[in-house]
Amino acid sequence: MPVLETIRIDGSTGEGGGQILRTALAVAALAARPVEIVRIRERRPIPGLAAQHLTAVRALAALCDASLEGDALGSRELLFAPRGPVRAGSYTIDVGAARKGGSAGAVSLVLQAIAVPLALARGSSELRLFGGTHVPWSPSFDYLAEVWAPTLARTGLAIGLELEISGWFPVGRGAVRARIEGRAGAPPSPVSLIERPPLGRIEGHALAANLPAEIPQRIADRARKLLEPTGVPLAIRPERVKAASPGAALCLVAHHDTWRAGFDSLGAPGKASEVVAEEAAHALLAFEAGTAALDRHLADQLLLPLALASGPSRFTTETATGHLETCAWLLAELGVARVVLEPRPEGGVLVTVEPRGLAIPHGEPRSTPHVRAAQPEPDEGERVPRRREHRAAVEVGASHGPPPPAPIPWNLVATVHAQAWREALGVLGRYGKVRKTPYYNVVVMAVDDPRAVAEDLARRIAAEPGLMNFISRVVPLDAALELGPLEQAEERLFAAFLPFLPRLAGKTFHVRVHKRGPGKALSAHALERALGERLLRALEAAGTPGRLAFDDVDLILVVEIVDQRAGIAAFDRDDRARFPFLRLD
């Protein structure tokens, strides 16, 4: 291949997130042109490549046999140099393989990064992706299957999706199959959608993984009540699913003739089922109150395929989000298309996409039956490796899958009175096996629903206050994780608390760490201060500042450490009043 000049992109431009990385590398892979990205995710609370971004980098590199420099967790600079055109084939992509201890990084964002290059390649591709399917800051699998893929089909890009198992934060381990039919030499068809067709019906899934059946039912019931005034048929069904960790979500789809708009909401620790329903339903109703044709998320997700289309496209959307503006800038910077965003007098934005005719070379489909486009995180000594050729591991024969989920050893911590061990065992034992730890009077349990245990225990204590003579403290946990090396404990705990940011917005809070082990090298006080300060900065970066306080705070964030495992939870004033056994401060 001829040597081409490397394009240099500043990853801090605009919204400064992972979208710049994924879109720039997709274009580089399509055009077989090297690109260098600096200041990657500079505007995020944790800059640099996270597991999901690193997986997308390596997956795209596998498609075009690219050489890489800087492909490591935390890296803020990357050089991506394709060694050939994108080639269709059979690929396995595991987000969890990018980081020791696994990751719940979004498979949806990885799939969106590689889907358009493969859809414009020669031949069909079979994909298996492992990771988070319903996780924060990304479209859910349901959105991909019910909104994104059908919309791409309108442009001629055929993508079939199947959910094998859902994956939720913080464990992930979901699995998705995808089949992409390549159409080498035939660019996508342009789109013209200015006026939105009338609303015909609303469909949705209220999902709950490893949670009681009442959870998805409450979500579905509340959503139906909120959406009844639309006057259209509603088909919102509750569904319980199995997964490696608990989770809940509502995914709504508004059907306008053959076009669709999607609205997701995720559950979170302490978030009522009705609130999950209200978030998605209110977003749908706000969309319907306007005149835009495409929802705000679909608008930026469509820019790349429309930038490669056979002619100009025009559509309307709710607003010019930071993602939309940044993607428009990037496509112009890469010379792929001119994108114009024009505010409309009646509200919303008119988007015009004028392709520049990107030249796309085509290669033959891969002959190897199976390419695993994921690599384990390098050892500590080579976290930001020097430039090297990317070589995808090849597996022949049986289909690859992730290792079976490791059971979380505990999700509830309790302290019992030494003189009343037998009585305490009777109080707690009805909820599951009580296991002693090496620490004085501290026990742990693995229960199906820690919050439900706390609720039931509170009811029993209200009826029999004397039960508190046997147990000193009980803390139900929202998530549990391995601490890993002690120098990484702060980073892992901060990442685990990120999904709590919406609850902390505008609120007072502080962090409490209760540590049993793993040695003096990890200071509970220093960890409390560091986590509190980092969460404050993350809230400020999101435009929803909070405040650290210690008297009558809105929320207390709790970290329970027993040896090399930690559990986290958040308790508001109502929780602290309702559960007399928490004793957090």
**Residue partners of 403: CB distance under 8 A and separation at least 6:** none
Nearest to 94 by CA among 50, 135, 129, 54: 129
Contact 60, 26 (CB under 8 A): yes
For helices 107-119 and 51-64, angle between their N-to-C axes, nearest 10 degrees? 20
**Residue partners of 33: CB distance under 8 A and separation at least 6:** 4, 7, 27, 82
Angstrom distance (rounded) from CA 58 to CA 377: 11
Q: Length of the chain, please?
A: 585
**Residue partners of 308: CB distance under 8 A and separation at least 6:** 30, 116, 120, 187, 188, 336, 337, 355, 358, 360
Catalytic option among 53, 297, 323, 390: 323
Nearest to 256 by CA among 201, 319, 300, 297: 201
Count of Cβ atoms closer than 10 Å to residue 160 Cβ = 13
Count of Cβ atoms closer than 10 Å to residue 498 Cβ = 17
Beta strand pairing status for 313-317 and 192-193? parallel
- String of DSSP letters for 60-83: HHHHHT-EEES-STT---EEEE-S
Cα within 13 Å of Cα(283), Cβ side: 20
Residue 221 in tokens: 């019931």
Coil vs helix vs strand at 223: helix
Contact 48, 41 (CB under 8 A): yes
Helix, strand, coil share of the chain (percent; to 5): 35, 30, 40
Nearest to 301 by CA among 191, 407, 208: 191
Tokens 């609850």, residue? 503
Beta strand pairing status for 67-69 and 388-389? antiparallel
255 as an active site residue: the answer is no
Buried b (16+ CB within 10 A) or exposed e, 402-425: beeeeebebbbbbbbeeebeebbe
Count of Cβ atoms closer than 10 Å to residue 158 Cβ = 15
Nearest 5°: CA angle at 282, between 547 and 14? 60
Angstrom distance (rounded) from CA 438 to CA 434: 13
Cα-only R_g, the chain? 25
Angstrom distance (rounded) from CA 164 to CA 466: 48
Report which DSSP code applies to 10: E
User: Looking at the annotation, which residues are catalytic?
Assistant: 323
